[in-house]
Amino acid sequence: MTAPLLSAPPAKCVLLAFNVSNQLAVRAAGTRLDHAFVGADEAVALARLRACFPVATPPAEHFTSTTGGPACRVFFTQVQGPPADGEVVFRTLDELQALQATLTPALAAVLDQLEPHLIEIPYLHLGENDYIYKFRVERDRNRDIYQQDDAARALYQSRLCEAIKALARTNERSATGPARLDFGAVRYVIPSHFGFCLGVKNAIERAYETLAENPGKRVFMLSELIHNPFVNEDLLRRGLRFLQTDKSQPFDTRGQVAAPGGGAPLLWDTLTGEDIVIIPAFGATDEDKKRLVRKGIRVAQFDATCMLVEKVWKAARTFGREGYTVVIHGKSEHEETKATFSNTRRHAPSIIIRDLDEARLLGDYIAVPTGEKRQALLARFAGLHTPGLDPARHLDRIAVVNQTTLLMNETSAIIDYFKSVFVAKYGEAEGPAHVGGAGKKDTLCYATQVNQDALQRALAEPLDAAFILGGKNSSNTYQLYRLCEQKLAQRAFFIQSEANIRSRDQIEHYVFPAAGHGKGGHTEIHPLWPRDDTPKRVLITGGASCPDGLIQQVVTRINSFFPPSQLHGIEAVLAALPALKT
C-alpha cells in the first residue's frame, strides 16, 4: 500500500513595513534583530502590523522566501508615524547589512532576496497606473520662486515672452502662428510655443521649494536638474549640489569629477537618511534609485521625473505584458534613455536604437534571419540590449517607445518602417500585429512636439537668421536647431545665451555631438551679417529647458547692433502686439 503524500505546511506570512525614508521596521529583542510582523497567515500578520502602525498601505505580496528556515510569503507595506511598540525600530537596509551578525537567520534570508524588489519600495503608496508626481495645474503653480531676487528675475522673467504667450499660445498642446515683434530696424519672429515645458517647470519649482523648505539640510540633485547651465548654476549658488554628472560620473566631496584612485571620498558615500536627493525630470536608473533606497533616502517625495517620461515607462510595461520586445528610440548616453531602458528591462526584453539606420539593421535580420546576421546584430548592439536577448525569438513582435526629446517624425518613421517589414514578411492581415502600438505612437511627448510644430510654422516666414537657445547637452534644443538648419543652413545658430553673440559679424555657434557618445561637441565662430546693416528678420526660440529671461536678453543684444534712432522702444512693441494677432 502506498503511503499518503504529506502536504507541505502552509507558508507563514512576513510583513516588511517601510517608512517614507525606505527604512525597514525590525524587532529588537536583546542583541538580536528579527522580523517585526510575522503570522501563521496574512490576517494574523496584518493585525500585528495595525497594532503598531494604524496607517499603512494595503500589503502587497512580492515573493516567497524558501531559505533560512520554513518557507514564508513576503509582503511589503508602507507605514506612517512612529511605531507604537517599543521593541520595533527602523533601520536602513545599509545599516542592516552592516549588522549582519545580529540578524536572525529568517530576517537575513529575506533581506538577501530583496535586491530585485528594492525599486518598488519607495512607491508602495502608488497604484501602477498612478504617476509619481502629476503636473500642477496653472492655478497651483508657484511663480514666486522665479521672483525671489534679482538673479532669479533676470533669468526667468521676460515681459516680452509673457506677452507673446498670452497672445499666441491659445492652447498648451496646439501650435498657432508665430508672434511678430517689430522693433523697427529688426523684426523678430517668435514661435507660439518655446521654452519651458510643464515637466521642466515642475522640476524647477520643486527644486527651489525643496531648498527653501529645508534650511540646514544637505540638498542634492542626482544629476543636472535640466539641460540648462544657467538654471543649474543658479541652484548651485543657492546651496544645491550634484551627486554625479549627466554621464553618471560621480562627484567627490571637493565637487570634482572623481578620478580612479582619487583621494577624496565620493559624495554618494557620504549620504545619510537626513539628506535630500532630488531626482531630475529625466528620471533615474533603477540602480541609482536602489542605492538611495538602501541609504534610507526619501526617494518618492523628491522624485521630479516628468510624467510624460513616466508615461513612456508605463507604455513599455504594457507592451512587455503583451509579449512584445521594446525597441527604445533614443541616445544611449542620454539620462532619459538610460532611465527608460533601466525601467523597461524589468518588464520586457529591450534594445536601444539611435535612428532609422539602426532600425534597418534590425529590420534586415527580421526580414531574412541568418546565424551570421544574428552574431553581427548582437555585436553591434552589445551593451544596448537586455541580457539573453535572442533575435530569433525576441524580434518577432516589437513595440517602439522613444526618448521624449527627439523629433516625432523620426520615431514615426521608425514605427512605419518596422510595420512595412512585418507586412512584407507576414502579409497585410497579420503583419501589423507584430508591431505594438503601431497606430498610436502614444509615447511621444506633446510638449516636445508642439515646440517643433510651432517652429515649423515660424520657419515659413521670410528670415535672415535664427537663434536657438539651449544647453549644450540639450537634445530637444538640438532637434529645434536641426529644423532651422534645414531651411537656413549657416544662418541658424545654436547658442546658450546672448554672450555667444559677440558682434554682428561673429557668433559662437555650438556644434552638437550628433555623431554619438564620446565624439564631443565644439564651438565654431560663424559670421552673422558681415558688412550688412540693412533691416533684418530674426527667428528666436528656446528648448524646453530655456528660461524666458534668456530669450529677452538675446533680443536686447541683437537690438544693440542697430542705432537707437532706428529702433522702437519695448513699450511701443508691447502695445502693438494685440494688432499682430493672426
Active site residues: 336
Looking at the DSSP bridge assignments, the partners of residue 128 are none
Q: Residue 581 is which amino acid?
A: K
CB 404, CB 444: distance < 8 Å: yes
Per-residue DSSP letter, 174: B
Q: Taken in order 120, 121, 123, 126, is the CA torsion positive or negative?
A: positive
Distance CA 352, CA 332 (A): 7
Alpha helices (H) in 139-281, listed in sequence order: 150-156, 159-168, 198-213, 229-237, 267-270
Place of cell 536641426: 482
In 444-506, which ranges are E strands? 465-469, 492-495
Distance CA 469, CA 207 (A): 22
Distance CA 272, CA 89 (A): 17
Per-residue DSSP letter, 449: H
Which residue from 100, 93, 132 is spatially nearest to 115, judged by alpha carbons? 93
- Sheet of strand 241-242: strand arrangement: 241-242, 219-221, 276-278
The dihedrals phi and psi of 453, each to the nearest 5 degrees, come to -65, -45
